[in-house]
Structure 1
Amino acid sequence: MIKVKTLILSSIFGIVLAGCGGSSSSPIGVTVTGLASGTGTSLTLLNNGANPLSIGSNGFFTFSVPVQSGGAYNVYVGTQPIGETCTVTNGSGTVGSNGAAVTNISVNCVANIASNTIVFGNLTGLPAGKQVVLVNGQDTLTLAVSGAFAFPTAVPVGGAYLVSLKSQSPGLNCTMSNVSGTIPATGFIAPVVVSC
């Protein structure tokens, strides 16, 4: 009887030790460089197809959900910033068993050629279930969520643009600024601002 009790206690003790043994998780961090400021847009990164990380400036950032030791990570660009292309280096790998943070992932952003010919902006304050419709030349954009937007048709350097509010859902009172101008030879336009 004593041997049986000893065997049971030993088994339980072994299970407890295994449970405490060392399953750990590691934060996944990235360093972003080259991201332009003042464009009204941001870069979105994903890890393993989830856990979106929205970044609006250069620096070091960490995903909110860590990865268990021995688990794989795969960081890639979910949404490119308007006017730039960002490339991930060292984006995939396996977390070590020691629980050390992953810090060697880098993201470098560079301006696209002729990126300054894009008319873009930012929409804020749009309630769920509502929408606004914007027009620039022959382009029409229907926006149903707040955030960055861009018209698909480029405007030549030196060409004029004029963004107008074609329609908005009942009950909305949206205002706009920076709606017109001329495409510069270098640099970006002032982003169109739509506030609801």
Structure 2
Amino acid sequence: MNKNPLKTRLLPALSLLALTVILSACGGYTTVDLGGSASGVTRDGLVLVNAGKTVAVPVNATSYTFPEKIDIGSQYNVSIQAQPGSLTCALSNTSGTASGQPISNVNVACTTNTHTLGGTVSGLTTTGLALTNGSDTVTIAAGQTSFVFSGKVADGTVYGVAILTQPAGQTCSVQNGTAVMGSADVTNVAVSCV
């Protein structure tokens, strides 16, 4: 059986032309953007990664996009490579398969880290002692040797523990009561009563 050499050479070229026409009818995309919304990014240092490619999300960004597009049909799996200082960030919709539309729903939300504020009490033998940190208060019972405020304090926020009410018949004072909240719970505020 004789094969037509011209037909044999034209068939692959026609197939490629047909594929090009189909792709152009769909918008011509072979790659798409990968990104999403961002919220709570109040500090530098947030870096996201997908398949070894990274993007740094700037302070106060409301969205982000990886610099490199990804191929249609490829898998993506975005994760956090670096957390910004004093924040904890989380991702949603982290993985999937790229289709013909840009991916814009891999969202990142950050919240400020918070820590407990407390310390020790010595010499308290009567009732009525109350401490304050802004609008947060704690009442300390006679004989109690430690305290913790119910409200947590955000990283980088100034706290100031003071005596709200003195106990009956005693005078108490506060040491280490004012500072800037760091990256761990505070347990060294010292209240002494005489």
TM-score by length of 2: 0.52
Report % sequence identity. Answer: 23
Alignment partner of 1:57: what SS?
A: coil
| Aligned equivalent of 1:29 | 35
Alignment partners' CA distance in 2, 1:104 and 1:73: 12
Q: Within the alignment, does 1:112 sit opposite 2:109 as a pair?
A: no
CA positional deviation for 1:75: 1.1
| Aligned equivalent of 1:102 | 103
Alignment partner of 2:60: what SS?
A: coil
| Aligned equivalent of 1:81 | 84
Q: Which runs of 5+ in 2 are unaligned?
A: 24-28, 117-154, 161-177, 183-194
Give the 3 Å change call, closer, same or farther, for CA 59–24 of structure 1 in structure 2: same
Alignment partner of 2:57: what SS?
A: strand
Give the 3 Å change call, closer, same or farther, for CA 20–78 of structure 1 in structure 2: farther
Equivalenced residue count is 121
| Aligned equivalent of 1:8 | 9
Alignment partners' CA distance in 1, 2:32 and 2:104: 10
Alignment partner of 1:8: what SS?
A: helix
* RMSD between superposed Cα atoms in Å: 3.4
Alignment partner of 2:64: what SS?
A: strand
Q: Within the alignment, does 1:62 sit opposite 2:65 as a pair?
A: yes
Runs (4+) off by over 6 Å: none
Q: Within the alignment, does 1:71 sit opposite 2:74 as a pair?
A: yes
Alignment partner of 1:77: what SS?
A: strand
CA contact (8 A) 2:45 2:56 kept: no
| Aligned equivalent of 2:54 | 51
Tell me the alpha carbon deviations over residues 119-171 of structure 1, each in whole angstroms, 9 at most, x when there is no partner: xxxxxxxxxxxxxxxxxxxxxxxxxxxxxxxxxxx99x769xxxxxxxxxxxx
Tell me the alpha carbon deviations over residues 90-129 of structure 1, each in whole angstroms, 9 at most, x when there is no partner: 0111101xx21001111111111239xxxxxxxxxxxxxx
1:183 pairs, out of 160, 180, 185, with 180
CA contact (8 A) 2:55 2:65 kept: no
| Aligned equivalent of 1:147 | none
> Larger Rg: 1 or 2?
2
